[in-house]
């Protein structure tokens, strides 16, 4: 029993005409008859009652026809599904990202992709850089957007963007109102609202303060694992924070946050597209990377094919 014999049987059952089916399948009538005979021998049954004027299904033929309807119905659905995937009319896109990349850098590109391919289901997995690298290493994700994954040397990092870090305060803050160049020692006297110890940005600021205000006591730290909450606490006057400039665009424009001029505070954070080496991406992932490329993001062309 093979799929071609089943296809020949299925079409003869539907049309009752060996000659018509032979034309459809680009075979001779004897070849179609031979396929039916081989199928009958394989199953040990007679499938058709043949007369000089007609071809009718036997009860066994009726049973097999019910199954071939299911078989070729599923094959038709499968063909249509993959055609839609090929045309990006259906499918899934999963993007891994750190919180800052997911909240402040990626939305523009996700929105652009969604408008072009509205039937693609989009899922964004948000986690820190270490967990993101783990998920990529384990094959749970195809692509991830975040900071350096130097702890996973087998992963490939593709540089995307360098963003300056800025120190900000609420507009009612005394530091914001002073309108003077601040020193590192001024910062140590403030409450700083930051990510947990060990987070890349928190460690950078701690090292900077230790270098530029070595004799000062370290500032009081309030740890918050959410950038939006951090910004709101700063706006409400509970302290100051350091963050990537693009994470505060809206609040800087409306004046809710004020950038603090601090002597020698010149730091940045790098963002990367992280992947497994030699990955063959799905159609939806390639389409998303193409969206980034079209908007000027430095995506290597070999990743798009």
Q: What is the number of structural domains in the chain? A: 3
Contact, 48 vs 8, CB < 8 A?
no
Both 16 and 49 in one domain: the answer is yes
Residue 160 is predicted with a pLDDT of 93
Q: What is the pLDDT along the chain (305 residues), one digit of tens a residue?
A: 788 889 898 988 888 888 888 888 888 888 988 999 989 998 999 999 887 777 889 999 899 999 999 988 888 777 766 765 666 777 889 999 998 899 999 999 999 999 999 989 999 999 888 889 999 988 899 999 998 877 788 899 999 989 999 999 999 898 888 888 999 999 999 999 997 765 778 888 999 999 999 999 989 999 998 889 999 999 999 999 999 999 999 999 999 999 999 999 999 989 999 999 888 888 899 999 999 999 999 998 888 87
Can you give the residue range of the structural domain that contains 286? Answer: 92-155+276-304
Residue 197 is predicted with a pLDDT of 64
Distance separating alpha carbons of residues 97 and 105, to the nearest angstrom:
10
Contact, 191 vs 239, CB < 8 A?
yes
Both 193 and 244 in one domain: the answer is yes
Both 264 and 168 in one domain: the answer is yes
Q: Which of 67, 86, 105 is the C-terminal boundary of a domain?
A: 86
Both 198 and 175 in one domain: the answer is yes
- CB half-sphere exposure, 236, CA atoms < 13 A: 8
CATH of the domain at 70: 1.10.10.10
Both 144 and 187 in one domain: the answer is no
Q: Which of 60, 86, 112 is the C-terminal boundary of a domain?
A: 86
Q: How far, CA to CA in Å, does 145 sit from each of 11, 105, 148, 301?
A: 52, 9, 10, 18
Both 218 and 255 in one domain: the answer is yes
Both 144 and 188 in one domain: the answer is no
Shortest CA distance to 231 belongs to which of 154, 171, 290? 171
Q: Which of 47, 65, 86 is the C-terminal boundary of a domain?
A: 86
CATH of the domain at 118: 3.40.190.10
77 three-state secondary structure: helix
Both 138 and 169 in one domain: the answer is no
Residue 244 is predicted with a pLDDT of 92
Distance separating alpha carbons of residues 144 and 132, to the nearest angstrom:
7
Q: How far apart are the two ends of the chain, measured CA to CA in Å?
A: 39
Shortest CA distance to 10 belongs to which of 39, 44, 49? 39
Question: Which tokens go with 67?
Answer: 């199954």
Distance separating alpha carbons of residues 33 and 213, to the nearest angstrom:
93
Both 104 and 250 in one domain: the answer is no
Both 195 and 246 in one domain: the answer is yes
Both 106 and 74 in one domain: the answer is no
- CB half-sphere exposure, 62, CA atoms < 13 A: 4
Residue 73 is predicted with a pLDDT of 82
Both 147 and 170 in one domain: the answer is no
Distance separating alpha carbons of residues 168 and 288, to the nearest angstrom:
34
Distance separating alpha carbons of residues 57 and 46, to the nearest angstrom:
9
Distance separating alpha carbons of residues 176 and 183, to the nearest angstrom:
13
Distance separating alpha carbons of residues 204 and 242, to the nearest angstrom:
10
Distance separating alpha carbons of residues 11 and 22, to the nearest angstrom:
10
Residue 238 is predicted with a pLDDT of 94
């Amino acid at each position: 029993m093979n799929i071609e014999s089943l296809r020949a049987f299925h079409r003869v059952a539907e049309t009752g005409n060996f000659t018509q089916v032979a034309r459809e399948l680009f075979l001779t009538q004897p070849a179609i008859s031979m396929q039916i005979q081989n199928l009958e021998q394989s199953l040990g049954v007679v499938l058709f009652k043949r007369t000089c004027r007609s071809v009718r299904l036997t009860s066994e033929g009726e049973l097999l026809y019910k199954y071939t309807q299911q078989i070729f119905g599923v094959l038709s659905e499968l063909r249509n599904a993959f055609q839609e995937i090929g045309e990006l009319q259906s499918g899934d896109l999963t993007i891994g990202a750190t919180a800052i990349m997911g909240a402040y850098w990626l939305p523009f590109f996700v929105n652009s992709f969604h408008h072009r391919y509205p039937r693609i289901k989009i899922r964004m997995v948000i986690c820190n850089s270490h967990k993101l690298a783990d998920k990529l290493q384990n094959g749970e994700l195809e692509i991830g957007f975040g900071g350096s994954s130097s702890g996973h040397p087998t992963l490939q990092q593709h540089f995307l963007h360098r963003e300056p870090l800025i120190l900000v305060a609420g507009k009612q803050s005394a530091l914001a109102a002073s309108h003077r160049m601040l020193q590192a020692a001024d910062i140590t006297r403030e409450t700083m609202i930051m990510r947990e110890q060990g987070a890349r940005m928190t460690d950078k600021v701690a090292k900077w303060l230790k270098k530029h205000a070595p004799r000062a006591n370290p500032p009081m730290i309030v740890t918050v694992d959410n950038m939006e909450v951090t910004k709101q606490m700063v706006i409400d006057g509970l302290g100051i924070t350091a963050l990537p400039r693009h994470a505060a665009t809206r609040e800087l424009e409306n004046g809710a946050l004020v950038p603090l001029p601090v002597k020698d505070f010149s730091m940045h954070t790098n963002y990367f597209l992280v992947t497994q080496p030699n990955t063959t991406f799905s159609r939806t992932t390639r389409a998303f990377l193409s969206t980034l490329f079209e908007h000027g993001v430095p995506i290597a062309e070999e990743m798009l094919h």
